[in-house]
Amino acid sequence: MTELLTSIAGTGFMDWWDGFWSTYNTVIFSLGVNAMLALSIYVTLSCGLLSLANAAFMGIGAYAASLISMQTGLPFPVALAAGGALPALVALIIGIPTLRLSGVYLAMATLGFGEVVRVVVLNMDITGGPLGLNGIPLKTEWWHIVLLLALTLYILARMRRSKIGRAFEAIKEDEVAARLMGVNVAGYKLLAFVIGAAIAGVAGGLNAHYTFTIGPGNYAFENAVEILTMAVFGGTGSLVGPTLGGMILTLLPEALRDFNSYRAVVNGLILVLVILYLPKGIWDPRRIRGWANTFSRRKTQAGGSN
């Protein structure tokens, strides 16, 4: 009898899980991919670069990986590697002249680059033109995303504590002072730009291989702003912030599904409140340490009074 009940319970759980996974697997996959996209722009922001090209780099990676999967017999890891390498190469080429700009001028230049990429893709036969690519093999598994997200976090954490990370921080704080101290400002800026492009390209390759179809509209201006919003919302003071920001803003539309008519309004209101009252994002290590110290001090005082 016990074995029968266990079997029935197990069968019921499996049926529930199959239904849940078939409904929400795209959302679950998007959690990791959007976290990677937020981390891709975190790299450029950590070097003081306001770039809006990451959506375009994501699109280049998505199309490159998809075309390799659809038209060759090469393994999926090779397609993903190409999806990261091609945007990195493009970033290297355009970064040399573009990164002489800074601030809003760099944002406008990279935004213009994104529009150029969208128009080029829109008018090429190999990319499917306005219709995009359909029938992309469904090769992305959950462990691919977990593995690559973990690898990205590990590499960026090591880089943050290295000479490169210290150079990025110096450039972000004061570019002139960093140059006077002997930091190769142009070289480190280009490195941050290329690393961010590679991460965005790999994320695009992963995304394309679980959405089945991609098009030029998936990598437009709105997507570039959305990627930036994820990083700013989470906070760029550490790697945790962009990761959380990407995941929360992925889940937020699902949580507001019952307010479908007002979803955009509520979403925008939440972002405005975070920017006004938490200007460094929801994950600010200094603020959290301050809260922890205050709590510890009050606990000690309460213990002493007893």
Tens-digit pLDDT profile for residues 32-71: 999 999 999 999 999 989 899 999 999 999 999 999 999 9
Predicted confidence at residue 164, as pLDDT, reads 93
pLDDT digit string (tens) for 125-151? 888 888 889 989 999 999 999 999 999
CB 37, CB 203: distance < 8 Å: yes
* 133-134/213-214 β-pairing: antiparallel
Predicted confidence at residue 16, as pLDDT, reads 75
**Residue ranges, the chain, pLDDT below 50:** 1, 4-5, 8
Predicted confidence at residue 220, as pLDDT, reads 86
Sheet strands (E) in 148-267: 213-214
Query: Residue 49, by phi and psi: left (phi above 0), alpha (psi -120 to 50) or beta?
Result: beta
Rounded to two decimals, the pTM is 0.88
Predicted confidence at residue 305, as pLDDT, reads 59
CA 231-51-150 angle, to 5 degrees, is 45
Sheet strands (E) in 252-303: none
Predicted confidence at residue 229, as pLDDT, reads 86
* C-beta neighbour count of 90 within 10 angstroms: 20
Name the residue among 189, 227, 188 with its Cα closest to residue 59. Answer: 227
CB 80, CB 65: distance < 8 Å: yes
Predicted confidence at residue 1, as pLDDT, reads 47
